[in-house]
Amino acid sequence: MAAKRRKENAKMNSSKLWTLFAASAFFCGHLQAHPLQAEPVNHAFVFNFDRFNVPEDLDESLINGGLLLLAELNCTSCHAAPASWQQRLQPKPGPALESVGSRLDSDTLWLFIRSPQNRKKGTQMPGFFHGAEGDDEKVEALVEYLSNLKSSPAPMPAGDADRGKDLYHKVGCVACHEPGKDVRPPKVAADAEVEKPGNASVPIALADAYDFLSLANFLASPLHTRPAGRMPDMRLSAQEASDIAAYLHTGRVVEKAATRAALKISKQSFEKGRELFQTMNCIACHKLGSTMPAAVFSGAEKKEPSAPVQPAATKPLKELAQGQGCLAEKQASGTPRFDLNDLEKRAITLALKMIQQQEAPQLTAQEKVDWQMTRLNCYACHDRNDKGGAEDPRAQYFGVNDPGAESLGQLAHLPPTLDKAGRKLTRGWFEKVLWGKDGSVRPYMDIHMPSFGREQTEMLITWLNEADALEKPFQIDVSGLAKHHRAEAGRQLLGAKGLACVSCHGMKDRKSLGPPVIRLTHTVERLQPEYFKELLLNPQATQTGTVMPPMFIGRKKADQEIESIWTYLREIEGQPLPEGLMSSADFELKPDAEKRVIIFRSFIEGVGTHAIGVGFPGGLNAAFDAKTSRWAILWKGRFLDAMSNYQDRSMPPIKPLGTAVKSMPSASSERIFGGYTLGKDGIPTFRYLENGQQIEDTLRPVKGGFEHIINSNGKQTKEILSW
């Protein structure tokens, strides 16, 4: 009886409540400057529809916008597209609701389901309840069902709102979402007004309703709950995700659905909600996992779910009448309400007409690329063939973390243009960039390249390859087998005394000598060799806006040189770095922890081709000439640089690194070198024959220099060498 009374109450009040309801959304933001306070969008918001379409557009150009809406608003989830249109209009998976009950409390769910466009302005989620008899109970049942879909979010670190604010603006969130009004972009003068984005922002009005842990988890891996990738995975660390979550929660007050309490609807059953979820065709967009979370069946509701109920049949796109359903002036309860604006309605009407009249036109590879980039909103950050790229009021937030990169201008700040990308990157590198790991080669850039998920992007690789292929690709022999395919030759060219590529390009852990342009470490994995050659031969024509100088114009052996550089880059692991990037410290021989004597044979200046260097702990060094069997030089401080022996092909003579190099007198007699033996202390004793006599010759460091010990025929002589 009580339940029935509540229901009647609700019915009495319902019309009044519906009108009040709209106002509640304006209370949900709390700080004037916060991104959640973006000016609301009052229609179903598809970023690139709004960006690329205006009311002044002619019909023929607006049709594409209409197709975009049909696809992005998931119309084809319920209204099947004709076969030829299916690929293009493929719906995207809606948010996964398996654990929505952990993310949102029941009041927020109630507010959102009852009127999505009120709770989250601009949402693409349609409303289904227009105040008809029984709607309140249905909403309540759905809330009951969804609130029980729970799982425990993974633990996350505590977030720091200030750090989060910084991250939110620099890693790229503001490419789509609203910048905070209290954040000044790094380059804007103190007295200048910060320009506001001209395009509306993707709403994030539910962020502060989220449970903190769920929000942090969502930001850390959004594709988990939103597999469509429209909110891409920004490749945030757990800490960064928590920090941004904390920022979005700034000043958060969880909204209570006062109206819901006033309605006093009796508790609806989980099972009824579950059935409604199917009959109202929520499952067309929101796929539930194959297994229900265990929590669903707790307590009184613990029973096996009944057989799935068939959703109401919907008409295919081809049979939809103009101006009906969501396009109608007044909509009946149960039909999806998107709050489309006039331009959107016009666009959809045009698109529908086209679909109903003709087969889908064959798209070129470039048109397919453009279509997918538009759907995923790659254009928010990248431009390709003069379309897209971040608009300046958003781009101004993207900075660099390396002051050396400032001189590169927007090349360092902004995501790269995607012109020719399909013949630039290898498939393997595309995979890293689009959904894998370690694809970033611009560590100086603050903005992150997000992952959109493999399903959303894999096809792009093939299309890009096809769209950007040259009819006559550049010829490059990367067999590594031609005579000039020598890593060393390539190393010389890259080095400071060659073409000086190292002036701008670092390698491995070494910075360049100048600005921190892309390091060349992964070039061979990353670039297609033909593109590598195309770029090197004519950088400006290949990559518009590049600051790379045209080093190879007019070089007669450009072909061979480019192949040599490729060979070096291919074999970079284990090769010495090019001159300029390397410091002698890389190969400097230094006493180890056990302070052992170091012995090192090489060509040593001041000694000759048969030199044996001896580095004693404590900074005393000497070199023995095995040709004349004598100590040739002594010196102090640093010992020798082993690079010649360890890395160089040409084995150039090496110089003592230290100071106070003293040449020793030449031997007065003919001597025959015999070698050396090492004492327990590692000190070598040199042996030679002099006039048929076996001589043993040792240097020992003592205070002030060396003690020079000579054993001959049972007699020992000692002298102190100091200099």
Query: What is the C-alpha to C-alpha distance for residues 327 and 339, in angstroms, rounded to an integer?
Result: 9
**681-689: long-range contacts at Cβ-Cβ below 8 A with a sequence spacing of 24 or more?**
681/597, 682/596, 682/597, 683/597, 683/616, 684/597, 684/599, 684/612, 684/614, 686/612, 686/624, 686/629, 688/629
Query: What is the C-alpha to C-alpha distance for residues 133 and 16, in angstroms, rounded to an integer?
Result: 14
CB of 252 to other proteins, least distance (A): 51
- Beta carbons within 8 Å of 635's beta carbon, 6+ residues apart: 621, 622, 656, 658, 659, 660, 661, 662
Query: What is the C-alpha to C-alpha distance for residues 719 and 267, in angstroms, rounded to an integer?
Result: 105
Burial of 221 (0-12, 13-18, 19+ CB in 10 A): middle
- CB of 106 or CB of 647, closer to other proteins: 647
Type and span of the H or E element at 462? helix 454-468
- CB of 57 or CB of 588, closer to other proteins: 588
- CB of 287 or CB of 655, closer to other proteins: 655
Alpha helices of 264-414 — where are they, by DSSP H? Answer: 270-279, 342-357, 365-376, 392-395, 410-413
- CB of 275 or CB of 530, closer to other proteins: 530
- CB of 442 or CB of 486, closer to other proteins: 486
- CB of 29 or CB of 529, closer to other proteins: 529
Query: What is the C-alpha to C-alpha distance for residues 225 and 239, in angstroms, rounded to an integer?
Result: 19
- CB of 599 or CB of 710, closer to other proteins: 599
- Beta carbons within 8 Å of 62's beta carbon, 6+ residues apart: 53, 343, 346, 347, 350
Q: Which residue has the tokens 């000190």?
A: 683
What tokens appear for 222 in the block? Answer: 């959004």
- CB of 290 or CB of 479, closer to other proteins: 479
Q: What distance lies between CA 536 and its chain's CA centroid?
A: 26
183 and 134 Cβ atoms separated by less than 8 Å: no
CB of 484 to other proteins, least distance (A): 7
The three-state secondary structure class of 129 is coil
51 and 72 Cβ atoms separated by less than 8 Å: no
Q: Tell me which residue of 545, 517, 310 sits closest to 420, measured CA to CA.
A: 545
- CB of 383 or CB of 530, closer to other proteins: 530
Integer angstrom CA distances of residue 281 from 79, 263, 335: 11, 26, 11
CB of 587 to other proteins, least distance (A): 10
CB of 611 to other proteins, least distance (A): 9
- CB of 267 or CB of 649, closer to other proteins: 649
Q: What is the CA angle 430-433-437, rounded to 5? A: 120
- CB of 357 or CB of 479, closer to other proteins: 479
CB of 28 to other proteins, least distance (A): 56
Burial of 421 (0-12, 13-18, 19+ CB in 10 A): buried
Integer angstrom CA distances of residue 131 from 19, 128, 264, 463, 509: 10, 9, 16, 47, 64
Query: What is the C-alpha to C-alpha distance for residues 477 and 253, in angstroms, rounded to an integer?
Result: 64
CB of 217 to other proteins, least distance (A): 38
Q: Which residue has the tokens 């109630």?
A: 110
CB of 610 to other proteins, least distance (A): 5
Burial of 173 (0-12, 13-18, 19+ CB in 10 A): buried
Query: What is the C-alpha to C-alpha distance for residues 478 and 287, in angstroms, rounded to an integer?
Result: 48
535 and 553 Cβ atoms separated by less than 8 Å: no
Query: What is the C-alpha to C-alpha distance for residues 123 and 44, in angstroms, rounded to an integer?
Result: 5
CB of 672 to other proteins, least distance (A): 9
CB of 608 to other proteins, least distance (A): 6
Query: What is the C-alpha to C-alpha distance for residues 62 and 58, in angstroms, rounded to an integer?
Result: 6
Q: Which residue has the tokens 């006559």?
A: 472
CB of 468 to other proteins, least distance (A): 15
CB of 81 to other proteins, least distance (A): 38
Is the four-CA dihedral 553, 559, 560, 561 of positive or negative sign?
positive
- CB of 475 or CB of 716, closer to other proteins: 475
- CB of 305 or CB of 480, closer to other proteins: 480
- CB of 244 or CB of 614, closer to other proteins: 614
Query: What is the C-alpha to C-alpha distance for residues 222 and 72, in angstroms, rounded to an integer?
Result: 18
The three-state secondary structure class of 143 is helix
DSSP bridge partners of 671: 690
- CB of 549 or CB of 608, closer to other proteins: 608
Q: From the CA atom positions of the chain, what is the Rg in Å?
A: 36
Contacts to other proteins by CB under 8 A: 473, 475, 477-488, 529-530, 567, 570-571, 573-575, 598-603, 605-610, 612, 626-627, 642, 645-647, 649-653, 673-680, 684, 687
CB of 535 to other proteins, least distance (A): 16
CB of 715 to other proteins, least distance (A): 23
CB of 426 to other proteins, least distance (A): 10
- CB of 392 or CB of 525, closer to other proteins: 525
CB of 676 to other proteins, least distance (A): 5
What tokens appear for 247 in the block? Answer: 């920022």
Q: What distance lies between CA 208 and its chain's CA centroid?
A: 26
CB of 654 to other proteins, least distance (A): 11
First CA to last CA distance, the chain: 111
CB of 702 to other proteins, least distance (A): 23
**Number of alpha carbons in the 13 Å side-chain half-sphere of residue 184:** 8
Q: Tell me which residue of 33, 24, 27, 25 sits closest to 247, measured CA to CA.
A: 33
- CB of 435 or CB of 673, closer to other proteins: 673
- CB of 473 or CB of 514, closer to other proteins: 473
CB of 477 to other proteins, least distance (A): 7
